[in-house]
Amino acid sequence: MEKQDLKFTDLDYLIADHHLQMIKAALPYVTVSQQKFFSLLVKSSELVRTVQLFQDEELGEMGICSIEQEHQSPIEMMNAMKPYGTPQEQDMMDVIINIMQGFQIRRNYQETAPPQEGPSPAMMMEKLKSILSPEQQSRMENIQLMLQAMQAFA
């Protein structure tokens, strides 16, 4: 990721202050041993601020700019994470989001449609793969392998 592409999250804004940013900006101008010391100082200060953030009654109960519980979904979370990824990671997230949305549409349809025999999940995956480009099919297979590995460890 390029330096200019680095974006800050709401947490970054809550735990950082201008003094820490000034120290970070000065790092290239000091010796390596001083860089190590000041880097640790900055990160430990951010850690302390993070702990304090959740000890604060008002913010601790509210969470970090939290979204109402009923509006949270994995798709919304993926969309919030996407701007921070590399172009390849963003493409992968798009594939995952599209798959999740497809399952969501199918689930909504099943809830509203009269009961009937439908294709198996394996058949649905094969149909989905057939409409994807070869690159997206490869990504889909990688995702399936990752999910199978995660299930095996669970």
Characterise 141 by phi-psi region: left (phi > 0), alpha (psi -120 to 50), beta (else). Answer: alpha
User: What integer pLDDT is reported at residue 55 of this predicted model?
Assistant: 83
C-beta of residue 17 within 8 angstroms of C-beta of residue 46: no
C-beta of residue 53 within 8 angstroms of C-beta of residue 35: no
User: What integer pLDDT is reported at residue 35 of this predicted model?
Assistant: 93
What pLDDT tens digit does each residue of the chain (154 aa) get?
455 566 778 788 888 888 888 898 899 999 999 999 999 999 999 999 888 888 876 655 556 555 555 557 888 888 888 888 888 888 888 888 888 888 888 888 777 877 666 667 777 777 777 777 888 888 878 877 777 777 777 5
Q: pTM of whole model > 0.85? A: no
